[in-house]
């Protein structure tokens, strides 16, 4: 009987590795140098020896004012980039006074209904000095335009704005569910964003193609890489079909992955993803600009691995996960707070999560050298194994007709659900140890006072909306909303009339409704 353990992706992890594990492997061809094709060892020559990764903390709750206060606290504590969490109504393109928003306003993120809220959210934050990541997908264009308008009011040239919108709707159909429009319309909107940002906000990362949410839903590392890159391929094809040249938009593509506690396979996953994407962009799409070949990515530690039992143990989990992301060469990192399995992070917990990154960056020697696992028998073997498994899954996606066709058939969703079910069975049987849950269980738990969002903020947001609508020039709003609908029905870039509608104080929900009226709303199919 073999002593090998199984990896998260299902291949064997042998007790020992030697040169035979890399039989036929040419280190010079496979590895190269950091900052050079195929970027296995990192996208930049110096990586963290020049400066650490960008330290982000995902934050947003309640009103724009409360979230603004948290951002100032995080910046004062040493955060080098902001990451905005929006509430569910905002993510779905509904205003806070819409009936479906009842009970959800400000709960899992900040409520943003109009330019007035965006002004408050970034009050006294210099947007030409801070990069901002916004976790927003279906209404990504709306929030990006609001951000641009507020920056212009601060006197900031849009050409100086740096940051990222997630803007990855395909993964919403697979794993997360905050979609609005059907896939074809969503791809049209995304390619409009690519064109708009190239002309108006050239430093902005126009999309963060995300495997994180698929991993949180149960995807293995190989599935995470495969389905994320397959979505990336679909976006590139859509942009090229819209008339854009690959090297005009590809340098601003970014990615978003999870980092689990399984350090070795996570490091291998990140290295395999870089190598695979570089080959796809060069060989399939003929990209010439080296930046088009670089898989630059943000990482968040694994929320699904946090436990409500003995929550302090999550501090250890997050430190291990963060270390895996750093060893894997991430460009930016969010470390989860230890109390997130219970409620929104308290200020102390958010600060501790940031301090975890700062300890990794400034108290260890992991930033002293580039790709410290390069040449490791086990990691190089696992890198090859993850890549091979991902390629096989991507081939299956293509046999279904590509990412969108496979989504419509429920392929990715069903594969992820099977993996999640297998993990649940392993935990229930005790074959997979979760400290504090199925082993090393505490008889009693220490009391914990969670952060709670005041339910009165919903009434406050409704009142703000009522005031905004009573004071604005409604005829001007209606004129620009009609322009949005007209652009959506034709082939003009929809972001230009959207920007003017938002400037005239149209709301997030009203702009989204103008697109809903033309494009409709996606109706999911059951996975087979």
Q: What is the arithmetic mean of pLDDT over 381-390?
A: 96
DSSP 339-361: TTTTSBPPHHHHHHHHHHHHHHH
Residues 326 and 317: their CA atoms lie apart, in Å, by 14
- Copy the structure tokens of residue 96: 């806070």
Band of residue 19 on the pLDDT scale cut at 50, 70, 90: confident
Where would I find the beta strands (DSSP E) of 97-216? 131-135, 163-165, 204-205, 207-210
Per residue in 318-377, pLDDT (tens digit) is 999 999 999 999 999 999 999 999 988 888 999 999 999 999 999 999 999 999 999 999
Band of residue 22 on the pLDDT scale cut at 50, 70, 90: confident
Which of 17-26, 51-60, 73-82, 450-459 comes out lowest in average pLDDT?
Answer: 17-26
Band of residue 23 on the pLDDT scale cut at 50, 70, 90: confident
Homologous superfamily (CATH) of 48-429 is Methylmalonyl-CoA mutase (3.20.20.240)
DSSP state of 176: I
Containing 54, the helix (H) or strand (E) segment is strand 54-59
In this prediction, residue 504 carries a pLDDT of 98
C-beta separation of 193 from 241 below 8 A:
no
CA dist 205 → 165, 173, 243, 451, 515 (Å): 7, 22, 19, 32, 23
Where b means 16+ CB within 10 Å and e means fewer, 134-162 reads: bbbbbbbbbbbbbbbbbbeeeebebeebe
DSSP state of 63: S
Q: What is the arithmetic mean of pLDDT over 10-25?
A: 80
Tell the residue number behind the tokens 């040449």, with chain if given.
375
> What backbone torsions phi and psi does residue 437 show, to the nearest 5 degrees?
-110, -55
In this prediction, residue 528 carries a pLDDT of 41
- Copy the structure tokens of residue 36: 């050079």
Distance from chain centroid for Cα 17: 34
Containing 222, the helix (H) or strand (E) segment is helix 221-241
Per residue in 403-433, pLDDT (tens digit) is 999 999 999 999 999 999 999 999 999 999 9
Per residue in 216-238, pLDDT (tens digit) is 999 999 999 999 999 999 999 99
In this prediction, residue 1 carries a pLDDT of 39
Residues 26 and 20: their CA atoms lie apart, in Å, by 13
CA dist 368 → 35, 264, 362 (Å): 16, 19, 10
C-beta separation of 301 from 55 below 8 A:
no
Share of the chain above pLDDT 90, in %: 87
Band of residue 5 on the pLDDT scale cut at 50, 70, 90: confident
- Copy the structure tokens of residue 56: 């982000």
In this prediction, residue 450 carries a pLDDT of 75
Q: Is the pLDDT of residue 29 over 70?
A: no
Cis-peptide, bond into residue 38, ω within 30° of zero: yes
Residues 343 and 466: their CA atoms lie apart, in Å, by 30
CB atoms within 10 A of CB 19: 8
Band of residue 206 on the pLDDT scale cut at 50, 70, 90: very high
Q: Is the pLDDT of residue 298 over 70?
A: yes
In this prediction, residue 523 carries a pLDDT of 87
CA dist 387 → 152, 229, 238, 381 (Å): 44, 11, 25, 10
Q: Is the pLDDT of residue 383 over 90?
A: yes
End-to-end CA gap in the chain:
36
Share of the chain above pLDDT 70, in %: 97
Question: Which residue, among 222, 214, 332, has the nearest Cα to 268 in the 3D structure?
Answer: 222
The full set of domain ranges for the chain reads 48-429
In this prediction, residue 526 carries a pLDDT of 61
Q: Is the pLDDT of residue 3 over 80?
A: no
Quick check: helix, strand or coil at residue 348? helix
Per residue in 84-118, pLDDT (tens digit) is 999 999 999 999 999 999 999 999 999 999 999 99
**Residue 255, strand partner residues:** 209, 297
Residues 483 and 488: their CA atoms lie apart, in Å, by 9
- Reduced DSSP (H G I as helix, E B as strand, rest coil) percent helix, strand, coil of the chain, to 5: 50, 10, 40
Mean of all residue pLDDT scores within the chain: 94
Residues 189 and 495: their CA atoms lie apart, in Å, by 8
Residues 233 and 237: their CA atoms lie apart, in Å, by 6
């Amino acid at each position: 009987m073999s002593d090998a353990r199984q990896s998260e992706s299902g291949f064997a992890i042998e007790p020992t590795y030697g040169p035979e594990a890399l039989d036929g492997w040419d280190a010079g061809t496979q590895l190269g140098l950091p900052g050079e094709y195929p970027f296995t060892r990192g996208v930049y020559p110096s990586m963290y020896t020049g400066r650490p990764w960008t330290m982000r903390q995902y934050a947003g709750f309640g009103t724009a004012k409360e979230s603004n206060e948290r951002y100032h606290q995080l910046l004062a504590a040493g955060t080098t980039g902001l990451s905005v969490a929006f509430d569910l109504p905002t993510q779905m393109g509904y205003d806070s006074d819409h009936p479906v928003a009842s009970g959800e306003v400000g709960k899992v993120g900040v409520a943003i209904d109009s330019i007035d809220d965006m002004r408050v959210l970034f009050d006294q934050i210099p947007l030409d000095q801070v990069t901002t990541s916004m976790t927003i997908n279906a209404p990504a264009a709306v929030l990006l335009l609001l951000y641009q308008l507020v920056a212009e009011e601060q006197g900031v040239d849009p050409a100086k704005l740096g940051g990222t919108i997630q803007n990855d709707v395909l993964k919403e159909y697979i794993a997360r569910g905050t979609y609005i429009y059907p896939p074809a319309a969503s791809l049209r909107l995304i390619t409009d964003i690519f064109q708009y940002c190239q002309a108006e906000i050239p430093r902005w990362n126009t999309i963060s193609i995300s495997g994180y949410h698929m991993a949180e839903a149960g995807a293995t590392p190989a599935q995470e890489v495969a389905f994320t890159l397959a979505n990336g391929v679909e976006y590139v094809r859509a942009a090229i079909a819209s008339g854009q040249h690959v090297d005009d938009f590809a340098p601003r593509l970014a990615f978003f992955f999870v980092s689990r506690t399984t350090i070795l396979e996570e490091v291998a996953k990140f290295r395999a993803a870089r190598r695979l994407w570089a080959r796809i962009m060069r060989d399939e799409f003929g990209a010439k600009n080296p930046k088009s070949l670089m898989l630059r990515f943000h990482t968040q530690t694994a929320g699904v691995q946090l436990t409500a039992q003995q929550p302090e143990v999550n501090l250890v989990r997050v430190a291990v996960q963060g270390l895996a992301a750093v060893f894997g060469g991430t460009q930016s990192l969010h470390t989860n707070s230890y109390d997130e399995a219970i409620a929104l992070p308290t200020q102390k917990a958010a600060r501790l999560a940031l301090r975890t990154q700062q300890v990794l960056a400034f108290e260890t020697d992991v930033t002293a050298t580039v790709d410290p696992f390069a040449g490791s028998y086990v990691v190089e073997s696992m890198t090859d194994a993850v890549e091979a498994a991902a390629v096989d899954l991507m081939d299956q996606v293509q046999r279904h007709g590509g990412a969108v066709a496979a989504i419509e058939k429920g392929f990715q969703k069903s594969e992820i659900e099977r993996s999640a079910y297998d993990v649940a069975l392993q935990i229930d049987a005790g074959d997979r140890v979760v400290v504090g849950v199925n082993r090393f269980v505490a008889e009693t738990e220490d009391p914990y006072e969670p952060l709670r969002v005041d339910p009165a903020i919903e009434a406050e947001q409704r009142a703000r909306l009522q005031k905004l609508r009573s004071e604005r020039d409604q005829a001007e709003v209606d004129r620009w909303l009609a322009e949005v609908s007209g652009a959506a029905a034709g082939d003009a870039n929809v972001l230009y009339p959207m920007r003017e509608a938002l400037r005239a104080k149209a709301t997030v929900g009203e702009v989204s409704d103008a697109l809903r009226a033309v494009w409709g709303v996606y109706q999911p199919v059951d996975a087979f």
